[in-house]
Structure 1
Amino acid sequence: MVISIAHLGPVGTNAETAALAYADWLEKTQDKTSLLCPCPSIAQTLHSVAKGDTKKAVVPVENSTEGTVVSTLDTLWQLDNLKIQQELVLPIVHALFSRGTSLNGIKTVYSHPQALAQCQGWLQEHLPNVALIPTNSTAEALEKISLEPTSGAIAAPRAAKLYNVPIIANEINDYQDNCTRFWVMTLEPTPTVSSRISLGFSVSENVPGSLMKPLKVFSERNINLSRIESRPTKRSLGEYIFYLDIEGNHEDPKIINALDNLTHHTEIIKIYGSYSVLLLKKTDIEQL
Structure 2
Amino acid sequence: MSEADKGAEQSNPLVGLRDRIDELDTNILQLISERARLAQEVARVKLAAGGDAVFYRPEREAQVLRAIMEKNIGPLDDEEMARLFREIMSACLALEKPVRVAYLGPEGTFTQQAALKHFGHSAVCVPMSAIDEVFREVEAGAVNYGVVPVENSSEGVVTHTLDTFMNSSLQICGEVVLRIHHHLLCGENTRQDKITRVYSHAQSLAQCRKWLDAHWPMVEKVAVSSNAEAARRVKSEWNSAAIAGDMAAELYGLTKIAEKIEDEPDNSTRFLIIGNDSVPASGTDKTSLVVAMRNKPGSLHRLLAPFHCYDIDLTRIETRPARSGVWNYVFFIDFSGHKDDPKVQYVLREVESLAAELKVLGSYPKGVL
Do the structures match in fold with TM over 0.5? Answer: yes
**Post-superposition shift, 1:248?**
2.1
Aligned 8 A contact 1:89 1:277 in 2: no
Partner of 1:4: 100
What do residues 30-81 of structure 1 show as CA deviations (whole Å, max 9, x unaligned)?
xxx52101000112112211222211001111111111111110111121x2
Greater gyration radius: 2
Q: Quick check: 1:183 aligned with 2:272? A: yes
Q: Offset at 1:195?
A: 2.2
Name which of 143, 149, 174 aligns with 2:238.
149
Q: Which SS does the other structure have where 1:37 is aligned?
A: strand
- The AA in structure 1 aligned to 2:171 is K
Amino acid at match of 1:134: A
Contact 1:157 1:170 in 2 (8 A): no
8 Å contact from structure 2 (residues 184, 258) kept in 1: yes
Quick check: 2:183–2:243 contact (8 Å CA) kept in 1? Answer: yes
User: How far apart are residue 208 of structure 1 and its match?
Assistant: 0.5
The worse-fitting range, judged by mean Cα deviation, of 15-24 and 145-154 is 145-154
Check if 1:46 corresponds to 2:135: yes
Of 216-225 and 177-186, more deviation after overlay is shown by 216-225
Which of 264, 282, 307 is the matching residue for 1:218? 307
Shift of 1:276: 1.6
Change (3 A) 1:3 1:166: same
Indicate the SS of the match to 1:272. Answer: strand
| AA aligned opposite 1:119 | C
Task: Map 1:91-110 to 2 at 5 A.
Answer: 91-99=179-187, 100-102=190-192, 104-110=193-199
Gaps of at least 5 residues in structure 1 are: 28-32, 281-288
Name the structure 2 match of 1:232.
Answer: 321
Instruction: Identify if the C-alpha distance between structure 1 residues 90 and 279 changes in structure 2 by more than 3 Å, giving closer, same or farther.
Output: farther
C-alpha separation between the residues in 2 aligned to 1:116 and 1:122?
A: 10
Q: Deviations over 1:172-201 (max 9, x none)?
A: 111121111111110013423142111111
Output aligned runs, 1:188-207, within 5 Å: 188-193=277-282, 194-203=284-293, 205-207=294-296
* 1:113-152 deviation digits (Å, cap 9, x = unpaired): 1111111111111111222111111101112223322111
Q: Find the aligned partners of 1:101 and 1:45 in 2 and give their Cα distance.
A: 37
User: In terms of mean alpha carbon deviation, does 69-78 or 209-218 score higher?
Assistant: 209-218
Q: Counterpart in 2 of 1:13?
A: 109
State the identity as a percent: 38
Q: How large is the Cα RMSD of the aligned pairs?
A: 1.8
SS in 2 for 1:78: coil
Looking at structure 2, the residues matched to 101 and 278 of structure 1 have their Cα atoms a distance apart, in angstroms, of 42
Find the counterpart in structure 2 of residue 83 from structure 1: 171
Residues 97-176 of structure 1: matches in 2 within 5 Å? Answer: 97-99=185-187, 100-102=190-192, 104-176=193-265
Q: Deviations over 1:190-233 (max 9, x none)?
A: 42314211111111x21202222111121122212111111111
Q: Report SS of the residue matched to 1:254.
A: helix
SS at match of 1:158: helix
Aligned counterpart, 1:259: 348
Taking structure 1 as the reference length, the TM-score comes to 0.88
Question: Which residue matches 1:22?
Answer: 118
Residues 66 and 118 in structure 1, CA contact (< 8 A), matched pair in contact too: yes
Deviation at 1:278, TM superposition (A): 2.4
Greater fraction of residues in strand: 1
1:242 match: 331
Aligned counterpart, 1:30: none
Distance change (3 Å), C-alpha of 1:190 and 1:274: closer
Equivalent residue for 1:273?
362
CA distance in 2, matches of 1:210, 1:237: 15
Match of 1:284 in 2: none
In terms of fraction of residues, the more helix-rich structure is 2
Closer, same or farther: CA 207–190 of 1 in aligned 2, 3 Å? closer
